[in-house]
Chain A
Amino acid sequence: MLEFQNISIYRREKRILDDFNLKIPDGAIMGLLGSDSKAKSMILAAASGSQAPDYGQILLNGVSIYQGRSRSYQNFGYMPREYGFYDLLRVDEYFELFLSLYKVNGRYRQKRMEEVAELFGIRQYMSAFIMELPAEMLPFLCLAKTVLHDPEWLLLDEPFANLNSSSRNSMIKILLMLQEEGKSIVVNSQMFPETRDFFTDVALVEDGRVVVEGETEDIFETALKKSPVRMHVLAGLDEALEVLKMNTLVDRVTVDEKEVIFRFNGGEREEAELLTDLVASGAFIQKFMRDRVNIEEVFRR
């Protein structure tokens, strides 16, 4: 388990993380959501060992990663938000640099390079210069470098930025394969349609703190309850309003001509029951739907 305990980080006298606490279980794919991108990047940089916190500690399986630094860095693969490449290096030479830094030597080095090239489908590019690679390959190359030394934890800062939907899906596929191999993944990303089912856990970070955290399904269910229901009533508006008034789960009803908007604190079943009651009351309903869930916005509100 990766645990952030009361982490505070100040940079240039500005507070980036403020008493930040988060527990990430082994094998999870944790999505860090929210508009505070500096804080989210800092969480990953701190966990990778490159940005020591001013206060608090980061524990990996109960041991501080800033103690006995010689070993802990090998447990993490860090993909920064902006990655640079040495254009005049070939892909295999670029990999070799990182493998040497992580002290992966001998016959295993070559084997590992081949494994990663196979996984990422870049075998044909291994002898190519980095500057010759197509631009859409570069995020994959950086991710490949991140997993080269076979770390337990992958810390990915905006890996899906600048990727189109198809590339995002390809990357998610690779990351899911890595998770199956037993890796835990922490991703700083905005919520894309593709990532909804990809994240097993999410944490919403705002102003350097965790606003909400938990399993993705639970968080979405909570968010769903918080998002308003829109109903378009063609006839029988009074009957419909009467039903809404009687239902204890309905809250904050607003009417705009034939459009009725209200909060509904029930789940899917309760929502179906309410709709049945509305129809039974004689209201002629053309549309009945929840607003699209944007969990970042819902929890920020």
Chain B
Amino acid sequence: MINPFLKTEWLREGRNIRLPLMIIFYIAIMAFIMILFMVFNEESFQQGYYYDTTTYQYQFLIISTFQIITVLLLTPFTVSRLFIVDKEKNMLEQFEMVPGVSFQYVTAKIILVLAVHVLLFISGLPVSALSCIYTGISGVKLLRLGAMIFLYAFWSGAISIFFYTVCSKSVWAFASTFFVQLMFGIGTLMLTEVFRNGSLMMSDTGRIAPEIVAVCLILLAFNPLSSYMGFYGSITGDIGIFGTFCSHLGIDTSDKWFILLFYKVSSLACVLVGVLFLSLSVWYMDKRRRT
């Protein structure tokens, strides 16, 4: 095998009781949301009405939002299981002299994080597919949801792996991961708002300076929720919350190419941030070996 850690990590994760428990709870929550929705719309089932699919549209959105939030919440936990820090560091001492081991070690961890979330997505597929059918949404959206989950698992997994590599105590790694994720999620929005208001206060014309608009767009692109909002908007048919935020900055969002490009760039930014954090993890492991 090219990466021997991959087999080891998968065996460890597969033999852990927490993985099946996680899957059971995951499906149970999704099924609960689904049943709850059916209960609230019982007439359409009992009386066989031709129902309005837009009502059910939100069922799919709620379920997909739950899946995305689960990725962001579960990934640090998943990674924490992969790094039982003290034991792991003792293990690391035994093979850190092997060249290229840091890269293999980090890639095995991220692949495992992705595999766990793909497994969760697949296990939740019957519920989300049923929701898709009720809503009348095409299966392509379901595949797109899978891609979004993959993207977020990569982004969140890379950040978590970095902090679990750097921190000597699990609790610090966990706290740092959540803090950085919050900074990307809420911090960028707050910074954008600060820049916007600052620019408006300093401008005589009552318009935001183009440089500030560019900075705000970059900040928004680095917000991981941007790409999900693009997905959200593609289902509801509007420009999405971030599109609205762009209008708030004074950008003409009526141009559909802008919106499309913006959401694609934000997805790309997610990947780049993930790659950056993984590279930092490999670099830090090599540095620790030397010093």
Residues of A within 8 A of B (CB): 11, 45, 48-52, 69-70, 73, 76, 78-80, 82-86, 88-89, 93, 96-98, 100-102, 142, 145
19 A-B pairs in the complex with CB atoms less than 8 angstroms apart = A50-B93, A51-B289, A76-B97, A78-B94, A79-B94, A80-B90, A84-B89, A85-B87, A85-B91, A86-B8, A89-B8, A96-B7, A97-B4, A97-B7, A98-B95, A100-B4, A101-B4, A101-B101, A102-B98
- Given the interface pairs A50-B289, A101-B4, the reply to whether A88 lies near B97 with Cβ below 8 Å is no
Asked whether B91 lies within 8 Å of A86 as measured between CB atoms, the reply is yes
B39 at the A interface (CB under 8 A): no
- Collect the chain A residues with CB atoms within 8 Å of residue B93's CB: 45, 50, 78, 80, 82-83
Asked whether A78 lies within 8 Å of B1 as measured between CB atoms, the reply is no
B5 at the A interface (CB under 8 A): yes
B144 at the A interface (CB under 8 A): no
Tell me the bound Cα distance from A96 to B8 in angstroms.
9
Closest Cβ–Cβ distance, residue A11 to chain B (whole Å)? 7
Asked whether B91 lies within 8 Å of A70 as measured between CB atoms, the reply is no
Q: Which of A79, A84, A102 has the most CB of B within 10 A?
A: A84
- Given the interface pairs A88-B12, A88-B16, the reply to whether A82 lies near B90 with Cβ below 8 Å is yes
B96 at the A interface (CB under 8 A): yes
Asked whether B89 lies within 8 Å of A89 as measured between CB atoms, the reply is no
Of chain A, the residue at the smallest CB distance from B95 is A101
Which residue of B1, B88, B98 is within 8 Å of A84 (Cβ)? B88
Residues of B within 8 A of A (CB): 1, 4-5, 7-8, 11-12, 15-16, 86-91, 93-99, 101, 289-291
Tell me the bound Cα distance from A81 to B93 in angstroms.
10
- Collect the chain B residues with CB atoms within 8 Å of residue A101's CB: 4, 95, 98, 101
8 nearest A-B pairs in the assembled complex, by CB-CB distance = A84-B90, A100-B4, A49-B97, A84-B87, A84-B91, A50-B97, A80-B93, A88-B15
Of chain A, the residue at the smallest CB distance from B100 is A70
Asked whether B94 lies within 8 Å of A83 as measured between CB atoms, the reply is yes
Asked whether B11 lies within 8 Å of A96 as measured between CB atoms, the reply is no
- Given the interface pairs A11-B291, A73-B99, A89-B12, the reply to whether A84 lies near B5 with Cβ below 8 Å is no
- Collect the chain A residues with CB atoms within 8 Å of residue B12's CB: 86, 88-89
Of chain A, the residue at the smallest CB distance from B5 is A97
Tell me the bound Cα distance from A74 to B7 in angstroms.
22
- Given the interface pairs A52-B290, A93-B8, A97-B8, the reply to whether A73 lies near B97 with Cβ below 8 Å is yes
- Collect the chain B residues with CB atoms within 8 Å of residue A142's CB: 94
- Collect the chain B residues with CB atoms within 8 Å of residue A78's CB: 93-94, 97
A11-B291, A78-B93, A101-B101 given; 10 more Cβ-contact pairs under 8 Å:
A50-B93, A69-B99, A80-B93, A84-B86, A93-B7, A93-B8, A97-B7, A98-B95, A101-B95, A142-B94
- Collect the chain B residues with CB atoms within 8 Å of residue A145's CB: 94
- Collect the chain A residues with CB atoms within 8 Å of residue B99's CB: 69-70, 73
Tell me the bound Cα distance from A271 to B7 in angstroms.
65
Tell me the bound Cα distance from A70 to B101 in angstroms.
12
Closest Cβ–Cβ distance, residue B111 to chain A (whole Å)? 16
Closest Cβ–Cβ distance, residue B101 to chain A (whole Å)? 7
Closest Cβ–Cβ distance, residue A232 to chain B (whole Å)? 51
Tell me the bound Cα distance from A51 to B288 in angstroms.
9
Which residue of B4, B86, B91, B96 is within 8 Å of A50 (Cβ)? B96
Closest Cβ–Cβ distance, residue B95 to chain A (whole Å)? 5
Tell me the bound Cα distance from A86 to B86 in angstroms.
12
Tell me the bound Cα distance from A142 to B94 in angstroms.
9
- Collect the chain B residues with CB atoms within 8 Å of residue A76's CB: 97
Tell me the bound Cα distance from A78 to B90 in angstroms.
12
Closest Cβ–Cβ distance, residue A32 to chain B (whole Å)? 18
Of chain A, the residue at the smallest CB distance from B84 is A84
- Collect the chain B residues with CB atoms within 8 Å of residue A93's CB: 7-8, 11
Of chain B, the residue at the smallest CB distance from A155 is B97
Tell me the bound Cα distance from A79 to B97 in angstroms.
12
Of chain A, the residue at the smallest CB distance from B88 is A84
Asked whether A89 lies within 8 Å of B11 as measured between CB atoms, the reply is yes
Closest Cβ–Cβ distance, residue A72 to chain B (whole Å)? 9
Asked whether A73 lies within 8 Å of B90 as measured between CB atoms, the reply is no
